[in-house]
């Protein structure tokens, strides 16, 4: 039982490049989330998927897209990376409607 896994762990991009962050959970959770964490800002929600087949914008969605591939997997795509997207990205999952979220280990992204 791996919980929530994320790939890659680290990534360096040049401005304008694109990439996809992958997330998978094996807890049979309905809901999945993407957050970014910046110093002094706390965790900010980028997108979430309350259940398979649905996705919605969070607090800071600009510059990102998501895909809920199936119940287990939720990916985050940066189409044209910008230095402002340098951050640590966390994926999380939960039972539908629950406040209790389980987080992955994070992806550290640097955009130069």
Partner 1 sequence: QKEVEQDPGPLSVPEGAIVSLNCTYSNSAFQYFMWYRQYSRKGPELLMYTYSSGNKEDGRFTAQVDKSSKYISLFIRDSQPSDSATYLCAMSEGMKTSYDKVIFGPGTSLSVIP
List residues binding partner 1 (CB under 8 A): 4, 31, 40-43, 45, 48, 50-51, 54, 56, 90, 92, 96-106
Which residues are paired to 5 by β-bridges? 24
The token pair at 10 is 């680290």
Report in angstroms how near the CB of residue 48 gets to partner 1 at its nearest: 6
Q: Is the peptide bond before 8 cis (omega within 30 degrees of 0)?
A: yes
Q: Could you give the CA distance from residue 53 to residue 42 in angstroms, rounded to a whole number?
A: 28
> Nearest to residue 89, comparing CAs of 32, 43, 28?
43
Between 5 and 17, CB nearer to partner 1:
5
Q: Which of 109, 98, 102 is nearest to 7 (CA)?
A: 109
* Minimum distance of partner 1 from residue 36's CB (angstroms): 11
Q: Which is nearer to partner 1, 12 or 15 (CB)?
A: 12
Least distance CB 40 / partner 1 (angstroms): 5
CB-wise, 92 or 109, nearer to partner 1?
Answer: 92
């Amino acid at each position: 039982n791996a919980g929530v896994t994320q790939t890659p762990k680290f990534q360096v991009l040049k401005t304008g490049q694109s990439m996809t962050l992958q997330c998978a959970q094996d807890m049979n959770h309905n809901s999945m989330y993407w957050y970014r964490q910046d110093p002094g800002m706390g965790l900010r929600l980028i997108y979430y998927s309350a259940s398979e087949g649905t996705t919605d914008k969070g607090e800071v969605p600009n510059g990102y897209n998501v895909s809920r591939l199936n119940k287990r997997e939720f990916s985050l795509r940066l189409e044209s990376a910008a230095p402002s997207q340098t951050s640590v990205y966390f994926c999380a999952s939960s039972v539908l409607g629950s406040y209790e979220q389980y987080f992955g280990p994070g992806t550290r992204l640097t955009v130069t």
